[in-house]
Chains A and B, each alone.
Chain A
Amino acid sequence: MTNEVWFDETDASLDDAAARYLRERYRFEVRYKLPAAERRFSRTVWNDVAEMGWLAVTTPEEDEGLGVRMTSVCLLGKAAGRGLLNEPLTSGLVAAWAIASSANVDQRETLLPRLHAGHLRVACVFAEGDEVRVEGGALHGRKTVVIDADIADHLLVLVQAAGQAPTLHLVEAGAPGVRREVYPLLDGRGAATVTFDGCRATLLGEGNAVSASAVRRAMLLGALATAADSYGAMSATFDLTLEYLKTRRQFGKPIGTHQVLQHRAVDMHIRVGESKAVLDKAAVSLQAGTDSAARDVHAAKAFVCDEARKLAHDAVQMHGGIGITDEYAVSHYLRRIRVNEQLYGSTEQHFQWFAAASAASDTHATNP
């Protein structure tokens, strides 16, 4: 349960800056009073996020990034969840990695610096099956609930039709042939249903299909960041709950003196501790590219999201009335945790992938 094993100077300073920024500049109580559009996305915050280097942690150094750093993805995800960050960090990290790993030199030189600087705001349209097809060099199809497509200026479209090698395309969100129906998500972030009707997009790479392993890794990166986000949300929820148990008085004493609540708090503490261990293991595995990396990330997404939901339900209950209100952070954490369950593969899908990976090999023997 220690992070020192993989913490380097870069991670330490990223973590410190992230914690300080979200605590001081992104306070829930202050943001709650902002108009809805500004709460959804703030250009100022986004510029700050870029300036702190967060968008460069999935780009190799030769492409002017900070290196492909899964440990940084993990710690920034945790910070984003804890801070209820609505700006599209995970989308940016996945997009940067996908572009860095699949685009040609010219494309990388054009796109990545703009992405790192926050000038390119990308939503990832990762189509499954034949949801989106390429016909005569143009995109056709439809994808529902694309997170961040409500505020993106570019869409990164992954096409992976059955029996064909996957391809990646970049298109302006306002381009002819692209239609977006935007809507809010449960937790204050946003999404859109994106329809392509013969739209011309830039094919990434040398006109070739991207490697299947690069696609898988992009999905795993998104899953890791999302699991980390849920971990951040659940640990913050636990902190609020513990504080409430110690300060809320009924019947002349703090409610935390009741054994029934003490035991529930202990169960929450266990959920947080185990989730952190599972998550950090996944980050290290994905960083090292070990054979078990995919399995470990599936484990993290399935386990953390499930534990986070249970913890958040308990947290609402233990807060009583204040827990169900919109003006207190606990219900926002519950809603964010529930949204995260569905991003970059659902809890159930990751569980099934984990089970399949576990059945395929004797992983305990090779992966202590």
Chain B
Amino acid sequence: MLHATLDVEREPLSNTLDAEDGFRQQVRDYCTHELPTHVRDKVRANLFMTKQDHVDFLRSLARRGWVAGHWPKAYGGAQWTPLQRFIFEEESTLGGAPWLIPFGVNYVGPVIYTYGNDAQKKRFLPPILASQVWWAQGYSEPGAGSDLAGIKTRAIRNGEHYVVNGQKIWTSYVQWADWIFCLVRTSEESRPQQGISFLLIDMRTPGVTVRPIKTMDGCHHVNEVFFDDVKVPLENLVGEEGRGWSYAKFLLSNERILAAETGHSMRALEHLKSLVRSVPSDSGLDRGVFERRIGRIELKLHALRAFCLAYGRSMDPSQPPGVEASIMKIRGSELQQDISEATFDWLGRSSIVYDATLVNAPHASSHVGPADTSGAVREYLHVRAATIYGGSNEIQRNIIAKAELGL
């Protein structure tokens, strides 16, 4: 699979590139003229975004029909190719757009239009496009992290309802969510992957409680969610009972397609380069030596982008992503950590001052150093998680070893 991807010389490159450039220009125009400036300013300063910031961003996308650009036209999307999707992520992020929180648009939406029934499509897809309903993902549990198939949250059929009992953890932004899609166990089978079902749960249902977990950047990204005799109508089951694992795998492969986050790294690298140009090191770092460290990082980014673009140009959209997605996740997350660590290092004495209230504010400020120092420190802390979430890099390597190398 991998060798075919790298063989890009067979592709009619010039035509592809013209189309790519045209689309890139559209995304740039959007960022320049339509992306709300308060959102762009916060993103560039690495401040913590509010739900309203995200909604403002999504509404600005909606005017171009880009909230769910990769969805089929029949469901309100723009039917982007994987390459367009990649370009959108790269250009919009570079241009100051926030991470597009994927739970509705990228995760549950495609699962519903692929595996859901007509009633579910009609009920759930339009509010996602209109940014009216906020979704969260109920996957990980205390005992099921890297071993996701080990989930224990039970859904027992009782008349017209499932009764759900159990606990989810690391649930991102569920404090803003109206709905959560969950992997639940509907039967005990010999293989743990069997007996898992994909269930949609209204967060207002009695018995659902949320406990926030503060992360080391002092912000509120993740939570625990508890289900205590929660009654969920049978009609909220997506697809067939017991087939949830295959839907989850479909969803996870969707998740990884954007995992390279090259736009994020490009933006962070630009920030680092301008920092090094404008502020001297107060901790004895030599600018020339440091610029070579940046050069090595830039080379890794160059290679990752080449890999992603080659893959995007050769990918068959009708097939699920291959192990290339895992490669992009590994390289992309490590690159984010390299850049944020270098930025932290250059900030020197300023880097050790951190006041979480400043990164939860609407405008950049710092007690010492440039105004965006607090945000840069937050970024360093936050991207320590990039090699953990969405399937840890260890799990990604296992996937490649097994699926690609036959080990």
Q: Binary interface profile of B, 190-226, with partner A (CB < 8 Å = 1, else 0)?
A: 0000000000000000000000011110100010000
B179 within 8 A of A: no
Supposing A325-B215, A331-B216, A335-B216 touch, asked if A342 and B349 sit within 8 A by C-beta, the answer is yes
Q: What mask results when residues 93 to 129 of chain A are scored 1 for a CB within 8 Å of chain B, else 0?
A: 0000000000000000000000000000000000000
Interface string of A241-261 (1 = CB under 8 A from B): 000000001110001001011
Residues of the A chain whose Cβ atoms lie less than 8 Å from the Cβ of B144: 250
What B residues does A251 contact at CB under 8 A? 146-147, 150
Question: Which of B232-240, B300-308, B386-394 contacts its partner?
Answer: B386-394
Is the CB–CB distance between B145 and A144 below 8 Å?
no
Distance in angstroms between the alpha carbons of A321 and B393 in the assembled complex: 13
The answer to whether B344 has its CB under 8 Å from any CB of chain A is: yes
Determine whether the beta carbon of B170 is less than 8 Å from that of A338. Answer: no
State whether B387 touches A317 (Cβ < 8 A): yes
Check if B387 sits within 8 Å of A346, measured CB to CB: no
Interface string of A3-46 (1 = CB under 8 A from B): 00000000000000000000000000000000000000000000
Decide if A317 touches B388 in the complex (CB within 8 Å): yes
Given known contacts A183-B355, A250-B145, A342-B351, A326 and B218 CB-to-CB distance under 8 angstroms? yes
Query: Would you call B140 and A321 a contact (CB within 8 A)?
Result: yes
Q: Does B354 contact A (CB under 8 A)?
A: yes
Residue B361 is within 8 A (CB to CB) of chain A in the complex: no
Does A65 count as interface, using CB distance less than 8 angstroms? no
Asked whether A320 is an interface residue with its Cβ less than 8 Å from the other chain, the reply is yes
> Which of A184, A323, A332 lies in contact with B355, CB distance below 8 A?
A184
With the chains together, A346 CA to B349 CA distance in Å? 8
A61 at the interface (CB under 8 A from B): no
Note all chain A residues with C-beta closer than 8 A to B4: none
**Given the complex of chains A and B, what is the CA–CA distance between A339 and B216 in angstroms?**
14
A327-B351 in contact given A320-B146, A321-B145, A349-B283 (Cβ < 8 Å): no
Interface string of B366-407 (1 = CB under 8 A from A): 011000000001000100110111001110010000000000
Tell me which of B140, B170, B284 contacts A348 (CB under 8 A): B284
Bitwise, A317-356 to B at CB < 8 A (1) or not (0) is 1001101111100011011001101100011110010000
Given the complex, which residues of B lie within 8 Å of A181, measured CB to CB? 367
From B146, B352, B388, contact of A145 by CB (8 A): B352
Closest to B146 in A: A250
| CB–CB B377/A348 < 8 A | no
Q: Which of A68-76, A158-166, A185-193, A196-204 contacts B (4 or more CB under 8 A)?
A: A185-193
Set of chain A residues within 8 Å of B284, measured between Cβ atoms: 346, 348-349, 352
A170 CB–B CB distance under 8 Å: no
Q: How far is the CB of B377 from chain A (nearest CB, A)?
A: 7
Q: Is B19 an interface residue (CB 8 A)?
A: no
Q: What's the nearest-Cβ distance from chain B to residue A177, in Å?
A: 21
Q: Which residue of B283, B350, B352, B384 contacts A313 across the interface (Cβ within 8 Å)?
A: B384
Instruction: Tell whether B169 is near chain A: CB-to-CB under 8 Å.
Output: yes
The answer to whether A218 has its CB under 8 Å from any CB of chain B is no
Partner of A183, one of B143, B146, B367, B377: B367
How many residues in A have their beta carbons less than 8 Å from beta carbons of B?
40
Q: Within the assembled complex, what's the spacing in Å between the Cα atoms of A342 and B213?
A: 29
Q: What residues of chain A lie closer than 8 Å to B283, measured between beta carbons?
A: 342, 346-349
Q: Does B242 contact A (CB under 8 A)?
A: no
A338 & B215 in contact (Cβ 8 Å cutoff):
no
Chain A residues with CB under 8 A of B354: 184-186
> Nearest chain-A residue to B397 (Cβ)?
A260
Given contacts A145-B368, A260-B394, contact A324 B350 (CB under 8 A): no
A334-B352 contact, Cβ under 8 Å, with A250-B146, A313-B384: no
Judge whether B285 is part of the interface by a CB distance below 8 angstroms: yes
**Does the CB pair B145–A145 fall under 8 Å?**
no
Given A251-B147, A324-B384, decide whether A186 and B353 contact each other with a Cβ distance below 8 A: yes
The complex places the Cα of A325 from the Cα of B284 at a distance, in Å, of 31
Which of A138-192 touch B at CB < 8 Å?
Answer: 144-145, 181, 183-187, 191
Q: Within 8 Å of chain A (Cβ to Cβ): is B36?
A: no
CB < 8 Å: which of A184, A250, A258, A321 contacts B170? A321
Question: Is A283 interfacial (CB-CB < 8 Å)?
Answer: no
Q: A327: which of B214, B367, B384 is its contact (CB, 8 Å)?
A: B214
- Asked if B77 CB lies within 8 Å of chain A CBs, one says no
CB nearest to A192 among chain B residues: B367
| B166 contacts the other chain (CB 8 A) | no
Q: Which of A144, A255, A320, A349 has the most CB of B within 10 A?
A: A320
> Are the CB atoms of B351 and A338 closer together than 8 Å?
yes
In the bound complex, CA of A228 to CA of B327 (Å): 39
Any B CB within 8 A of the CB of A316: yes
A352 to B215: give the CA distance in the assembly, Å: 35
A167 nearest CB across to chain B (Å): 23
The interface residues of chain B lying within 8 Å CB-to-CB of A183 are: 353, 355, 367-368
30 contacts between A and B (CB under 8 A): A144-B349, A145-B352, A183-B353, A183-B368, A184-B354, A185-B352, A186-B351, A186-B352, A186-B353, A191-B353, A250-B150, A251-B147, A255-B146, A317-B384, A317-B393, A320-B146, A321-B385, A323-B388, A324-B215, A324-B388, A325-B213, A325-B215, A326-B214, A326-B215, A335-B381, A338-B351, A341-B352, A342-B352, A348-B284, A352-B284
Residues of A within 8 A of B (CB): 144-145, 181, 183-187, 191, 193, 249-251, 255, 258, 260-261, 313, 316-317, 320-321, 323-327, 331-332, 334-335, 338-339, 341-342, 346-349, 352
Apart from A317-B392, A342-B349, what are 7 other A-B pairs with CB-CB below 8 Å?
A181-B367, A185-B353, A186-B351, A250-B144, A251-B150, A331-B215, A341-B352
Q: Which residues of B contact A (CB under 8 A)?
A: 140, 143-147, 150, 169-170, 213-216, 218, 222, 283-285, 344, 348-355, 367-368, 377, 381, 384-385, 387-389, 392-394, 397
Across the A-B interface, give the 8 residue pairs with the lowest CB-CB distance, nearest first. Answer: A346-B283, A331-B216, A250-B147, A349-B284, A186-B354, A183-B367, A326-B214, A348-B284
